[in-house]
Amino acid sequence: MSPLAKLTDVSKFYGNIRALEGVSLEVHAGEITCVLGDNGAGKSTLIKIIAGLHQHDAGTFEIEGEEAKLSSPREALNRGIATVYQDLAVVPLMPVWRNFFLGSEPTKGAGPFKRLDVQKMRETTRAELLRMGIDLRDVDQPIGTLSGGERQCVAIARAVYFGAKVLVLDEPTAALGVKQSGVVLKYVAAARDAGLGVVLITHNPHHAYLVGDRFVLLKRGSMAGSHTKSQIALDELTRQMAGGSELDQLSHELERAPGPDVIGGKPVGSAED
């Protein structure tokens, strides 16, 4: 099957600064493509290009086989690309259902009698969250009262409901504990099983390997590797993510130089023995 989205040798420059150069990746329906890299690796720039915030300067970006140069996040949404950022862009004091439909609220009535269809929003939010396996006690509670993992899951369910074909997730587990991270990864897998192509941005190779089908490694704005799950083991993925040969060299440099054995604060074999 042809990919839902495909980047080929994509580059982005800000004046003389190279933010991204020669990056390629594919996003397939029902698969998770993980983009891994340290801070400053170019992950944020890549997200902005896919999400329509920035345009690439070189290379090609194709959506369902058609070359594209997105001019805005709204155009990306219209083309089926939804991005969930770390800050989630929610209004903490508003109820869950209101955040679920934020910016896309259905209405009923006409003219001066036009008003929000609150009942539809409540029922739809509850049903869509249940369909993703999220059973909230009350969709009227402020979304700020939910845990970080639950808020991430609401954002994922919202993207699925509004017809996303490609779901981009920006470090969804970065600020979460082990248990909440597991919950979020479960819903990331649920989005994949619903037929979406998922791009998971992360710096955690263990989380990536749990759910990922393809892995793209970035380093200082360039490609450091591209693998399918069958081509690489977790240990090697972690090693490449950590710097590979650079890490080996650092380990060698930090090795403690062998010194005399010490017993009771005095070197063994000293003149005082």
Q: What's the confidence (pLDDT) of residue 254? A: 67
Q: Is the pLDDT of residue 37 over 60?
A: yes
Q: Is the pLDDT of residue 121 over 80?
A: yes
Q: Which bin fits 151, alpha (ψ -120 to 50), beta or left (φ > 0)? A: alpha
Domain-wise residue ranges, the chain: 5-92+163-253
Taking all residues of the chain, what is their mean pLDDT, rounded to a whole number? 85
Q: Are 63 and 40 in contact (CB under 8 A)?
A: no
pTM above the 0.85 mark?
no
Assess whether pLDDT exceeds 90 at residue 29. Answer: yes
| φ, ψ at 34 (rounded to 5°) | -100, 130
| Phi, psi of 122, rounded to the nearest 5 degrees | -60, -50
Q: Letter for the amino acid at 263?
A: I
* 27/38 Cα distance (integer angstroms): 21
CATH of domain 5-92+163-253: 3.40.50.300
Taking only the tens place, the pLDDT of each residue in 185-230 is 988 998 899 899 999 998 889 999 999 999 999 988 888 889 999 9
- pLDDT tens for residues 143-193? 988 888 888 888 888 888 888 999 999 888 887 888 888 888 988 998 899
pLDDT band, residue 38 (cuts 50/70/90): confident
129: which residues sit within 8 A by CB, 6+ positions away? 135, 136, 139, 153, 154, 157
